[in-house]
Amino acid sequence: SAVISQKPSRDICQRGTSLTIQCQVDSQVTMMFWYRQQPGQSLTLIATANQGSEATYESGFVIDKFPISRPNLTFSTLTVSNMSPEDSSIYLCSPTRQGIFFGQGTRLTVV
């Protein structure tokens, strides 16, 4: 299994601001998935990030709103930009290498 550090674990943010979530893995992984779970909804994939290429976004998610960085095979960030209360969710990173693992999640509340 992989050791994953996701930060911050929670935050309360003002609308209109941005938050960057970090995901650090203790070993190199090929693919990094970013998910979110809005209240009462299922975990939904935002985008898939491979090193050295632009992230691939799922329908309904755009790069301007959720820019992702993947500078190397052990680290990735997801930014939630220009936040509104609808962005209040749990955000999870999921590095994948011979198995699917998850970070501890970031619980975001936008007020």
Stretch that binds another protein, among 11-19, 21-29, 44-52, 72-80 (CB under 8 A): 44-52
Half-sphere exposure of 3 (CA within 13 A, CB side): 1
Q: Is the peptide bond before 67 cis (omega within 30 degrees of 0)?
A: no
Q: Is 11 exposed, middle or buried (0-12, 13-18, 19+ CB in 10 A)?
A: middle
Q: Pairing mode, if any, of strands 89-96 and 4-7?
A: unpaired
Give least dist CB 16 to another protein, A.
Answer: 27
Q: Choose which of 41, 52, 53, 98 interacts with another protein (CB under 8 A).
A: 41
- Give yes or no for residue 100 binding another protein (CB under 8 A): yes
- Give yes or no for residue 103 binding another protein (CB under 8 A): yes
Enumerate binding residues for another protein (CB under 8 A).
4, 9, 31, 33, 35, 40-45, 48, 58, 92, 99-105, 107
